[in-house]
């Protein structure tokens, strides 16, 4: 996204907390957190503070797509882990409509049909577990060839926003699109998956994005990590859409990572050598100072 000159920047303070509790003592565990905001054109990470209650080392590494992770390997038996991370981040203020060009509509559609384009964007054009549409739903949202790709994506954004009713507790991390289409209620993850699936069905590369949302304005998705989508728009590049809130991604969105779907972006992955039940809870707080 291009920047307008003389714009303001904010400072955000983000706190992520996770609490894992196990019924039986755990001998050995490894966790990987994908929660660190990335550095990009619109955001710059200033400070990172990470703590865990086990006194284990917090190691920085990268996931399979090059996004920063925090990994913890436990040293001794435990039953409870408290983890907290605080990030200070500088975010540039920007208007997502600021640099929308005059689109050459015909040649843009030609481009997305070309073999080179399909090859280069192949990871974000295919179907994955969470972005597979049932055969009957492939034409649920068909682009209008008279409109630009960008305009179609905006319409898709609104369509998804209206199609799914925001409701927590109906879906879970393993919910498939098939279920969403049967009972259109869910959370940001479901909105983002449906948006990606329908953009890809129209040959537009779309990637699932995980990050934080600064509320303030009563948006959905505050106290947890948020999810949205980025699509590749010819002549512009990757543009973020937030179908949960019917918005273009703006300076309230703080990106952590992207992938083909939630699977690539799961904020917490763990390998725990234990048996019995466990309880996990996460919380997120985003504060802005202008």
Partner 1 sequence: MNSDVKTIFSSYHNNAQLFDEVFDSNGVAKNVYQKLLDLYGNHSIQEYVQLNNKAKASFFNQGITFQVYDNKVTQEKIFPFDLFPRIIDEDEWEIIEKGAIQRSKALNLFLWDIYHDKKIIKDGIVPLDLITSSANYLHQMIGVDPPGGIYNHISGTDIIKHSDGNYYVLEDNIRCPSGVSYVICNRTALKRALFGVFNHYKTHSVTNYAENLLEILESVKPKGVDVPNCVVLTPGMYNSAFYEHSYLAKAMGVELVEGRDLFVENDFVYMKTIRGPIKVDVIYRRVDDLFMDPLEFKPESALGVPGLFAAYRKGNVCLANAPGTGVADDKAIYTYMPQIIKYYLDETPILNNVHTYHCSRPDELKYVLEHIHELVIKPVDEAGGYGISIGNRLTKDEIKVVQEEIKQNPRKYIAQPIMSLSVHPTYIDDSESFEQRHVDLRTFTLLGHEKEFVLKGGLSRVALKRGNLIVNSSQGGGSKDTWVLKK
Minimum distance from residue 1 beta carbon to partner 1 (Å): 23
HSE, side-chain direction, 13 A CA sphere, residue 110: 5
Give CA separation, 18 vs 80, 212, 261, 276, in Å.
11, 15, 22, 19
In the bound state with partner 1, the residue whose beta carbon lies nearer, of 3 and 274, is 274
Nearest to residue 1, comparing CAs of 258, 233, 260?
233
Using the rule CB under 8 A, is 123 a contact of partner 1?
yes
Could you report how far apart the first and last alpha carbons of the chain are, in Å? 21
Using the rule CB under 8 A, is 99 a contact of partner 1?
no
Minimum distance from residue 43 beta carbon to partner 1 (Å): 23
Using the rule CB under 8 A, is 102 a contact of partner 1?
no
Binding mask 56-85 for partner 1 (x = CB under 8 A): -x-x-xxxxxx--x-x-x------------
Measured distance CA(266)–CA(189) in Å, rounded: 11
**Residue 18, Cβ density class (10 Å: 0-12 exposed, 13-18 middle, ≥19 buried):** buried
Judge whether 204 and 213 are in contact, CB under 8 Å.
Answer: no
Interactions with partner 1, residue window 244-273 (CB under 8 A): 260, 269-271
Minimum distance from residue 208 beta carbon to partner 1 (Å): 13
In the bound state with partner 1, the residue whose beta carbon lies nearer, of 83 and 161, is 83
In the bound state with partner 1, the residue whose beta carbon lies nearer, of 30 and 215, is 30
Using the rule CB under 8 A, is 27 a contact of partner 1?
no
| Residue in 14, 20, 32, 256 binding partner 1, rule: CB under 8 A | 32
In the bound state with partner 1, the residue whose beta carbon lies nearer, of 83 and 191, is 83
Minimum distance from residue 267 beta carbon to partner 1 (Å): 13
State phi, psi for 77 to the nearest 5 degrees.
-55, 145
Measured distance CA(72)–CA(54) in Å, rounded: 10
């Amino acid at each position: 996204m291009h920047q307008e000159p003389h714009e303001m920047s904010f400072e955000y303070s983000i706190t992520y907390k996770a609490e894992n509790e196990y019924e039986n003592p755990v001998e050995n565990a490894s966790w990987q957190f994908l929660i660190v905001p990335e550095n990009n054109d619109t955001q710059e990470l200033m400070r990172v503070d990470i703590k865990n209650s086990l006194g284990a080392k917090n190691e920085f590494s990268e996931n399979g797509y090059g996004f920063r992770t925090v990994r913890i390997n436990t040293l001794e038996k435990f039953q409870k882990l408290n983890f907290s991370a605080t990030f200070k981040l500088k975010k540039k203020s920007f208007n997502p409509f600021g640099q929308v060009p005059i689109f050459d509509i015909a040649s843009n559609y030609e481009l997305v049909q070309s073999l080179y384009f399909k090859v280069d964007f192949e990871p974000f054009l295919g179907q994955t577990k969470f972005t597979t549409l049932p055969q009957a739903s492939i034409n649920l949202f068909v682009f209008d060839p008279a409109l630009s790709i960008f305009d179609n994506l905006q319409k898709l954004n609104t369509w998804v926003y209206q199609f799914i009713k925001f409701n927590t507790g109906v879906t879970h991390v393993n919910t498939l699109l098939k279920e969403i289409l049967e009972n259109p209620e869910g959370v940001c993850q479901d909105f983002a998956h449906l948006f990606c699936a329908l953009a890809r069905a129209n040959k537009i590369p779309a990637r699932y994005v995980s990050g934080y949302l600064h509320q303030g304005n009563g948006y959905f998705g505050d106290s947890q990590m948020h999810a949205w989508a980025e699509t590749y728009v010819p002549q512009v590049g990757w543009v973020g859409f937030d179908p949960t809130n019917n918005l273009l991604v703006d300076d309230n969105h703080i990106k952590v990572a992207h992938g083909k779907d939630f699977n690539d972006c799961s904020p917490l992955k763990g390998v725990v050598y234990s048996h019995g039940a466990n309880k996990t809870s996460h919380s997120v707080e985003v504060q802005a100072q202008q």
